[in-house]
Amino acid sequence: MKRGRLPLTALRSFEAAGRLGSFTLAADELAVSQAAVSRQVKELEAELGKPLFERRHRAVRLTPSGHVLLGVLSRSFDAMDASLSEIRGRRGGGLLEISAEPSFAAGWLVSHLDDFRTGHPEVDVAVDSDMRLIEFRTHEAEIAIRHGMDAKAWPRTEVDHLVDVDMVPVIAPGLLSINPPLETPADLLMHTLLHEETRSVWERWFAAAGLPDAPLGRAQIFAEGNLVLQAVLRGHGVALVDRFLAAEDIAAGRLVQPFDLSIRHGAYWLVARSFKRLSPEAQAFRLWLLQRLDVGAGGGA
């Protein structure tokens, strides 16, 4: 097919739908209707004479041909975006855009940013506290701090391991003082258990404590870890929290850790499209963050 006849709009719609695994999410990203994305993909399939997606109830899956085409298009669009960013000078000018997991942003990053600014007063930092997966394209942050179970959670990126997440039980001292003492892990079941998204982390903790069939009983479930931390600080129940992010509250006596048993729950990672192509501001932030967390810069996973 000649370059002048390439169906660029349809290719863009297909790439977004394939990358995101959803016509709806692709439509949101491209600011068009879902029907428009679906129509563009169908026209591309008709042009190629092969299906690119398997349509299922409320889901789509790439065909082998779709996988091949998606790989080529994503690499091409990423390369074009990087070139346009360099020409426009999007990265630089003293502004650093960071996308940070809400729990990490509130629990650690905000309280330590002044240290970075002291060493780099010429850099303005914009922090977007968001859990959404980003693609590091022109309209998005240059680097991200994300929680994940392993380093393979973000395709076509490089990652630095920042800190492991070890979940420990905590309770507000005021709530602890008005109830019977917590002598064994089973005593936690007398309290409302605070959960982040799912009960599975508490189930894993009790299993590690020798109580695999513990009846979890009363519960409050929150969308993200910082909300759980705020709830436990206010005495709403007992929570499993990341020991690293709760360290200051535990040390200050605002929270009590009744048992030392912890379970591993992934890690926080610094994620970028390419560490070698970061702006000087992002390079400085990466070096500062790794040094502040006492992590060696390994150049990716």
pLDDT digits (tens, 9 = 90+) for 129-180: 877 666 666 556 889 999 988 888 777 788 999 999 999 999 999 998 888 8
Structure tokens at 16: 């977004």
C-alpha–C-alpha distance, residues 70 and 290, integer Å: 34
How much is the pLDDT for 75? 83
pLDDT score of 88? 56
Give the residue-averaged pLDDT of 29-50.
88
124 — alpha (psi -120 to 50), left (phi > 0) or beta? Answer: beta
- From first CA to last CA, the distance across the chain in angstroms is 38
Please tell me the number of Cα atoms within 13 Å of 124 on its side-chain side. 6
Residue 186 reports pLDDT greater than 80: yes
When pLDDT is cut at 50, 70 and 90, the band that residue 225 belongs to is confident
The top-scoring range by mean pLDDT among 24-28, 151-155, 262-266 is 262-266
Supply the DSSP symbol for 7. -
Cβ atoms 290, 198 nearer than 8 A: no
**Given a cut of 80, is residue 295 above it in pLDDT?**
no
Cα separation, 197 vs 204, whole angstroms = 14
**What mean pLDDT comes out for the span 88-107?**
78
3-state secondary structure of 81: helix
pLDDT class of 301 with cuts at 50, 70, 90:
very low
Lowest-confidence region among 81-95, 169-183, 186-200: 81-95
DSSP β-bridge partners for residue 268: 147, 163
* Long-range contacts, stretch 63-68, CB < 8 angstroms, 24+ apart: 66/14, 66/18
pTM, 2 dp: 0.71
Helix ranges restricted to H, 185-224: 200-208
Number of Cα atoms under 13 Å in the Cβ half of residue 260: 0
CA 143 – CA 251 distance, rounded (Å): 31
Share of the chain above pLDDT 90, in %: 52
* Helices within the chain (DSSP H only): 8-20, 23-30, 34-48, 64-88, 102-104, 110-119, 173-177, 200-208, 225-233, 243-251, 280-292
Tell me the HSE value of 254 on the side-chain side, using a 13 A CA sphere.
11
Task: Report the pLDDT averaged over residues 184-200.
Answer: 92
**What pLDDT sits at residue 90?**
52
Q: What's the average model confidence in pLDDT over 112-116? A: 93
Q: Is the pLDDT of residue 234 over 90?
A: yes
Q: What is the rounded CA–CA span in Å between residue 202 and residue 286?
A: 33
State the pairing for strand pair 158-170/263-272: antiparallel
Catalogue all structural domains in the chain, each as residue range(s) with its CATH number: 3-88 (1.10.10.10), 95-163+267-292 (3.40.190.10), 166-265 (3.40.190.10)
Q: What pLDDT is recorded for position 299?
A: 46
Contacts of 164 (CB under 8 A, 6+ apart): 244, 264, 266, 267
